[in-house]
Chains A and B, each alone.
Chain A
Amino acid sequence: MRSRTGVPADTVWQQLTEHAASLQDIHLAQMFADQPDRFARLSRRAGPLLLDLSKQRLDGRTLDLLGKLADSRDLRGWINRLFAGEPINHTEQRAAMHWALRVPAPQPSPVQQQVQEQLDRMSRLVERIHARQWRGVTGEVITDVVNIGVGGSDLGPMMVCRALEDASDERAVRTHFVSSMDGSQVSGLLRRLRPHSTLFIISSKSFTTIDTLYNAGTARAWLQRTLGDDPAVTGCHFIGVSSATDKMDQWGIPRPNQLALWDWVGGRFSLWSAIGLPIALRLGMQGFRDLLAGAHQMDEHFRSAPWRDNVPVLMALTGVWNTNILGIHAHAVLPYDGRLKYLPAFLSQLEMESNGKSVTRDGEPVATGTCPVLWGEVGPNAQHAFYQLLHQGTEPVTCDFIAPARRYHEGRHDAAAAELLAQHELALANCFAQSRLLAFGEAALPPGDQLPMHMRYHGNQPSSTLLLDELGPFALGALLAAYEHKVFAQAVIWQINPFDQWGVEMGKRIATETLELIKRGTAGGDMDSSTNGLIDAVAGAVDRRRSFRG
């Protein structure tokens, strides 16, 4: 079995390992004591983003060596291939051109023309809905839009809509998100909505995603029960976002209600495309374009900045250092802003679906560990949940603390501004205090009596802090693009393909087989004993209910 911390025998890895050994006994508190200007040396800015690496267990030489590692893996060449649109998603023979979705108009290339054409179509739909002129089949104005999607077609738009709710367009309609396969979200939501004034967005790159199509079918049946089964019901109440025009046609979505995306956009990288329609509906097109502009600025930074100043590359290399050299295999994402509630879930998908791989581009088992386990929660709430483990548990965890520097400085919050500003300052204080305590341990506390063992803080837990100027469309675009490029840069170091997800395909296939057995009411001994037993237990529960009812 592969050792997760085991590193290849090439020189850079060896140098990094030796270097780590030389730092091993130096506590983070000591590093700060030895180097008074540590923050100045180990923090970087890119546009609206400040990255503070000073609480990582590394020094200037670490960054130099990590830069050499990046060179030895030809990171520069891979970045060029990414931005040249080469088919670097080799298992699917596709390019990965999410960056092309945020190149500002006008650009002459055919891809850019397609992108702008879809943005224009999106813009027209958004304008019509915002002007209260999108009509249901009875002529009523649409007041509620429900996005039906899953994974990238759900998490990204939902996360951004929540994060930027303060930047809502004043004409915005209510937006809702439905994803879960079991129908619990959709049924709860439909009880509160009126069919006459509800519009659904079916968001599925392939338009074959079973979760989404079942939810869409439930929605259509709900509409038809009230509005009849005229094809105009589908025509007036559904928008489709997909790369499969023919499948949208078959489902009955008229061409003017279709928005396109392309093979070269991965699901978890797709919020910048028409998949982001709910975002545009929330923010207005200008807000959506600001989001794209922030991401584009980060694209340019990623392409051009030297490794030592390159924020996404530094995020990637720090992660490699922690995972492969220091042997830390858990990573927590901790936003100190309730609006970023869904960011940890979004980043879990982005990082783990991209880099949760164990085979290199050459089809060989990887020599190193890859993506750590990643999870998270809004920081102040997590303080009352799993921070105990961060401070005193046996498993080391690295953390990303994320916070906006400014909030509540605009007129829109005027009535309660003073109280809310105080709350924001309290959240920031907690953010900085927690990362300090994790790094310094008891050294962060005022000198005094010796604490009993169970009250001690060992510290020396590495973390990064990402400080945004403020949480607006532009800054969020930059932050998300930084994580996307971090993921790509790590994949280059680990020599894996971050753009496929074969690990999620097989489960869908065998579920189809299992579904038939559940419908049949018995496994009939066709499966393994666990599956047989579970299917039979379900059938037994159904039978018992029938007999109770007589």
Chain B
Amino acid sequence: MHLDIYGDTLTALVTAATLSSTGHQVTLRVPAGQVADDLDAGRMPYQEPGLEAMLDQQQQAGRLLAGSADEMPGDRVEAVFLALSPAALPFAESVIDQLALRREHSWLVVNQSNFPVGTTESLQQRLRDGADAGVDRAVIVMPEMLQEGAALQSFMRPSSILVGCDSDWAEVHIREILRPFNRLRDVMRLLRPREAEFTKLAINGMLATRLGFMNDMASLADALQVDIEQVRMGMGADPRIGEAYLYPGCGFGGLNFSRNVMSLADTLESSGVGSELLEQVLLINERQKEVLFRKLWQHYRTDLHGKTVTLWGAAFKPGTGRIDNAPALKLLDALWAQGVTVRVHDPKALPTLRAHYGERADLLLCDDPYEAARGADALMLVTEWKDYWSPDYPRLRSLMAQPLLLDGRNILDPDFVRSSGFVYYGIGRQ
């Protein structure tokens, strides 16, 4: 089949690579932005094992083409995938509106984006408006369930495929498109579109709640002088709980956990429905993003004026240069409000930070992590990049004005850090 994929997410790239590898003719249309720039410059925007090779292979085979996101699919295209970032809903709507204008054309649109619950149905309504009688049109939703680090495998050998679809015609087509990945046994679960979207929200919500709960436990652990690491391992050993998503830290960021994704679409929201628990989880997370600031504030007895603080890491997670909802943003605002100069190192996010804040005297972006620590009254480890797991403590000690280390990701050993001459604060660590 001829398939067009709009998107700049990891899902877009994985979908393009895997579907073309099974013989589909795929056009990948990446909207302007960082990801498009990376691809144009021959850089891989996502560090995903095997992805780059597979994309190259398919391009060479002529089954995968790069197209412009400003252009519409050709007449032979039978399905359009939307694998966009949550913020790109207006773009998705404009694509749908342009497809809708072609009155005689049948369209299957597969929404893989993390939009609020209810979006797929409203997109379908838009797509069907004004279509000629007898023309089949549907928007279905296939929430992304990729495991980062094993994304290709999880797409091609899924333990389940969640599809939200209310049209028999669309079901026939999506089954055909995904047939190569659904052979051993039928793992496709069909739900109504909003049920599928809601499942994705519930998964994200559960993960966020686990993290929020652990952060809450870490605060208690601080107060009770209990080491949260021991507690975390004890909890994780219980099979009813499991080990995933139990790491306390200085807050999670990223678009999937943003307020608009964690909410229902406006149409539903006006009915007054909302999740109190998720509201609280997101609130607690916002508070948690300032936890390192609070520890610093108390350490220096409420006077931070004129101090210098180093941030290691600004991206919302390792492996990306993105800073959407990242804890570093809240820390920067909090520190600047107290008259602190901040020196930041991040392997990938410095250009994004520079673009976000522009030039300012109290922000220094450093390409070298040790250069960033020079003269600092505190070092805050904010993103757990591999680069930071084994610091050269004597070197840090000699560069910094005060040996104070705040570990927002609990990746260092408190005893070893202390024996290296530092004051150490973790998240619930002793």
A residues bordering B, Cβ < 8 Å? Answer: 128, 131, 133, 135, 137-141, 230, 232, 235-236
Does B337 lie within 8 Å of A131, measured CB to CB?
Answer: yes
B416 at the interface (CB under 8 A from A): no
B210 at the interface (CB under 8 A from A): no
Residues of A contacting B287 in the complex (Cβ-Cβ under 8 angstroms):
140
Does B293 lie within 8 Å of A139, measured CB to CB?
Answer: yes
Does B334 lie within 8 Å of A138, measured CB to CB?
Answer: no
Residues of A contacting B297 in the complex (Cβ-Cβ under 8 angstroms):
135, 138-139
Q: Taking A135-B302, A139-B295 as given, write out 9 further A-B residue pairs in contact, using a Cβ cutoff of 8 Å, ordered by the A residue number.
A: A133-B333, A133-B337, A138-B297, A139-B290, A140-B287, A140-B294, A232-B302, A235-B302, A236-B302
B76 to chain A, nearest CB (A): 47
Residues of A contacting B293 in the complex (Cβ-Cβ under 8 angstroms):
139
Q: Which label, helix, strand, loop or mixed, suits the secondary structure of the B interface? A: helix
B residues bordering A, Cβ < 8 Å? Answer: 287, 290, 293-298, 301-302, 333-334, 337-338
Chain A residue at minimum C-beta to C-beta distance from B334: A133
Residues of B contacting A236 in the complex (Cβ-Cβ under 8 angstroms):
302
Residues of A contacting B301 in the complex (Cβ-Cβ under 8 angstroms):
230, 232
9 smallest beta-carbon distances between A and B, as pairs: A139-B294, A133-B337, A139-B297, A232-B302, A236-B302, A139-B293, A137-B302, A138-B294, A139-B298
A105 to chain B, nearest CB (A): 26
Residues of A contacting B337 in the complex (Cβ-Cβ under 8 angstroms):
128, 131, 133
B305 to chain A, nearest CB (A): 10
B192 to chain A, nearest CB (A): 29
A350 to chain B, nearest CB (A): 39
Q: How far is the CA of A235 from the CA of B303 in the complex (A)?
A: 11
Residues of A contacting B295 in the complex (Cβ-Cβ under 8 angstroms):
139
Chain A residue at minimum C-beta to C-beta distance from B297: A139
Q: How far is the CA of A140 from the CA of B301 in the complex (A)?
A: 13
Chain A residue at minimum C-beta to C-beta distance from B293: A139
Q: How far is the CA of A133 from the CA of B298 in the complex (A)?
A: 15
Residues of B contacting A141 in the complex (Cβ-Cβ under 8 angstroms):
290
Does A138 lie within 8 Å of B298, measured CB to CB?
Answer: yes
Q: How far is the CA of A36 from the CA of B430 in the complex (A)?
A: 87
Residues of B contacting A131 in the complex (Cβ-Cβ under 8 angstroms):
333, 337
Can you pick out 26 interface pairs between chain A and chain B where the beta carbons lie within 8 Å of each other?
Answer: A128-B337, A131-B333, A131-B337, A133-B334, A133-B337, A133-B338, A135-B297, A135-B302, A135-B338, A137-B298, A137-B302, A138-B294, A138-B297, A138-B298, A139-B290, A139-B293, A139-B296, A139-B297, A139-B298, A139-B302, A140-B287, A141-B290, A232-B301, A232-B302, A235-B302, A236-B302
Q: How far is the CA of A138 from the CA of B290 in the complex (A)?
A: 11
Q: How far is the CA of A232 from the CA of B334 in the complex (A)?
A: 18
Residues of B contacting A138 in the complex (Cβ-Cβ under 8 angstroms):
294, 297-298
Chain A residue at minimum C-beta to C-beta distance from B296: A139
Residues of B contacting A133 in the complex (Cβ-Cβ under 8 angstroms):
333-334, 337-338
Q: How far is the CA of A138 from the CA of B294 in the complex (A)?
A: 6
A172 to chain B, nearest CB (A): 18
Most buried by B among A135, A138, A140: A135
A293 to chain B, nearest CB (A): 29
Q: How far is the CA of A128 from the CA of B339 in the complex (A)?
A: 12
Q: How far is the CA of A135 from the CA of B340 in the complex (A)?
A: 15
Q: How far is the CA of A236 from the CA of B304 in the complex (A)?
A: 13
Q: How far is the CA of A235 from the CA of B295 in the complex (A)?
A: 18
Residues of B contacting A135 in the complex (Cβ-Cβ under 8 angstroms):
297, 302, 338
A12 to chain B, nearest CB (A): 62
Residues of A contacting B302 in the complex (Cβ-Cβ under 8 angstroms):
135, 137, 139, 232, 235-236
B388 to chain A, nearest CB (A): 24
B273 to chain A, nearest CB (A): 16
Q: How far is the CA of A282 from the CA of B294 in the complex (A)?
A: 26
A144 to chain B, nearest CB (A): 15
Q: How far is the CA of A20 from the CA of B302 in the complex (A)?
A: 70
Q: How far is the CA of A138 from the CA of B333 in the complex (A)?
A: 17
Q: How far is the CA of A1 from the CA of B302 in the complex (A)?
A: 64
Residues of B contacting A128 in the complex (Cβ-Cβ under 8 angstroms):
337
A419 to chain B, nearest CB (A): 17
Q: How far is the CA of A204 from the CA of B230 in the complex (A)?
A: 52
Q: How far is the CA of A60 from the CA of B302 in the complex (A)?
A: 67
Q: How far is the CA of A44 from the CA of B245 in the complex (A)?
A: 70
Chain A residue at minimum C-beta to C-beta distance from B295: A139
Residues of A contacting B296 in the complex (Cβ-Cβ under 8 angstroms):
139
Q: How far is the CA of A135 from the CA of B298 in the complex (A)?
A: 11
Q: How far is the CA of A188 from the CA of B372 in the complex (A)?
A: 50
B270 to chain A, nearest CB (A): 9
Chain B residue at minimum C-beta to C-beta distance from A140: B294
Q: How far is the CA of A161 from the CA of B409 in the complex (A)?
A: 44
B293 to chain A, nearest CB (A): 6
Residues of A contacting B294 in the complex (Cβ-Cβ under 8 angstroms):
138-140
A145 to chain B, nearest CB (A): 17
Residues of A contacting B333 in the complex (Cβ-Cβ under 8 angstroms):
131, 133
Q: How far is the CA of A137 from the CA of B287 in the complex (A)?
A: 15
B292 to chain A, nearest CB (A): 10
